[in-house]
Amino acid sequence: MKSPSQETIDALLAKHSPLLAFPKDVESYFQERIRNQRTRHIWNTSWAGSFVYLLFALCDYALLPDIYLHIWQFRFLVAFPVFAATSFLFGYIANYHVREGLVAVVAFLIGATTVWLVLQSRAPLAVQELAGFCLFIVFSNVVVRFRFVLAFVVSTAFLVYFVIISLEAAHIPLASHINNFVLLFSAASVSLLGNYWHELEERRSFLLAERDAARKQELQQANDTLENLSYRDGLTSSYNKRYFDLRFPQLLAYAQVNRTPLWVLFIDVDHFKAYNDSYGHIAGDRALVRVAAVLNANFRRRDEIIARTGGEEFVGLLPGISKEQAIETAEKIRLAIFDLSIPHAQSSTADVVTISIGVAGIDPDVTQYPHQFLASADAALYKAKQSGRNRVVMEDVATGASA
């Protein structure tokens, strides 16, 4: 489910609405986000409430000697299994209205039935147990924390039911009924107030958390963008020397430890100074951009790197491929540059822009430092230039021979 936009979150925070409801899409997202937390909460509080509810069996024995066995049967054989089943089903119901409503209805029915049973007693101390239902209301509103609207409905329904059923118990003095009602009403009022403020704060905390998460994500994206820009050459969009110097030792170390191939390509645009002198630096930049576009297109796999290290100089890394594949890639790049057909009248190699490429690869049986590896590729490039340019030369690391 899609999270609300930053504008929506800011608008809701600025509104300071006392209503315990978000717009429909935000409300659905909120309920989905807290679903697992609410499921665990209901599960834990249901078992805690069941324990306290069963603990009142001691009060039944002490205060209701004439009917305590009947109430015990209800507590242990009816109420407790229903509590357990409700807690189990809660996590499997998708609609949060149904989930919360189910728990509230079960709590109300069990509480109402227990009140009716207590009022059947003729024991002189039975009225004292009725005061214990203050705990029932407080537990429902503050510990279980039904959503406020639901908590208000359940509390009101329980108070109305309590008044109606109490008036039918003529054997209990009216003063005791009034006392118990005042206690229950006070417990309901105070706990509902706490319930309201808790849910209001919960919703505001949710909005603040979402806003902070969105801002953190935006900041991370901005940092990633800035970091990426700091590793890119401004003209060609290839990586720059800074990035190459960072990644090359890492890839070399990985290749040596895991005994996997790694190839470095030194690439130089042939007679580029003459090109700049003849066509101008603006045309030279345009030519470099077109050359770099071809290079960038051929270094796209994971950990493949092409970086501009000087004016017309590039260096590439090809990990995890064979010697034949490295040569094939280098030849493919050389031909692609030639096929660009960028005119170069001052070149003694061809009438178009060309490149020379020196290739070197690590030997798993020879320990090499980064500067030695680069020196091998540089030597191969030098031989490519000495051999007439517009060609690929591979340096054999172990022997120093060229291919």
Q: Which residues pair with 293 in a beta bridge?
A: none
Tell me the sheet residues that pair with 318. Answer: 263
Q: What pLDDT is stored for residue 343 in this prediction?
A: 95
Residues 131 and 234: their CA atoms lie apart, in Å, by: 78
Instruction: Using alpha carbons, select from 349, 359, 355 the residue that is nearest to residue 402.
Output: 359
pLDDT computed for residue 391 by the predictor: 96
Query: Which pLDDT does position 72 carry in this prediction?
Result: 94
Task: Report the pLDDT value the prediction gives residue 397, as an integer from 0 to 100.
Answer: 55
Residue 229's pLDDT band (cuts 50, 70, 90): confident
Interatomic CA distance for residues 152 and 290, integer angstroms: 71
Region of poorest pLDDT, from 325-329, 364-368, 383-387: 364-368
In terms of pLDDT, which residue wins out, 243 or 222?
A: 243
Average pLDDT on 5-33 reads 85
pLDDT at 1 (0 to 100): 66
Side-chain half-sphere of 252: how many Cα atoms within 13 Å?
21
Q: In whole angstroms, how far apart are CA 25 and each of 15, 87, 217, 328? A: 17, 27, 21, 55
Break the chain into its structural domains and give their ranges.
6-216, 239-395
What pLDDT sits at residue 398?
Answer: 44
Q: What is the pLDDT of residue 400?
A: 44
389: helix, strand or coil? coil
Residues 83-97 as b/e (b if ≥16 CB within 10 A, e otherwise) read beebbeebeebeebe
- Reported as a single tens digit per residue, the pLDDT across 43-101 is 888 888 889 999 999 999 999 999 999 999 999 999 999 988 887 887 788 777 788 88
Mean pLDDT of 223-228: 80
Place of tokens 């690391």: 397
Alpha carbons 99 and 80: distance in angstroms, whole number? 19
CB 141 within 8 A of CB 85: no
What pLDDT was estimated at residue 399?
Answer: 43
**Structure confidence at residue 242 (pLDDT):** 92
Nearest Cα to Cα of residue 148 among 199, 207, 96, 201: 199
56-70, 127-141, 171-185: which has the highest mean pLDDT? 56-70
Question: What average pLDDT does this structure show over 14-31?
Answer: 86
Instruction: Please report the pLDDT score of residue 247 as a whole number.
Output: 92
Residue with tokens 């409300």: 27
- Check residue 31 and give its pLDDT: 85
What is the torsional sign of CA 192, 198, 204, 207? negative
pLDDT at 367: 65
Domain 239-395: which topology? Alpha-Beta Plaits (3.30.70)
| Beta carbons within 8 Å of 369's beta carbon, 6+ residues apart | none
Query: What value does the mean pLDDT take over residues 306-326?
Result: 94
- Model confidence band, residue 16 (pLDDT cutoffs 50, 70, 90): confident
State the pLDDT confidence band at 368, using cuts at 50, 70 and 90: low
pLDDT tens per residue, range 255-276: 988 889 999 999 999 999 999 9
Burial 336-364 (b: 16+ CB within 10 A, else e): bbeeeebebeebebeebbbbbbbbbbbbe
pLDDT at 364 over 80: no
Q: Is the pLDDT of residue 202 over 50?
A: yes
What is the reported pLDDT for 355?
97
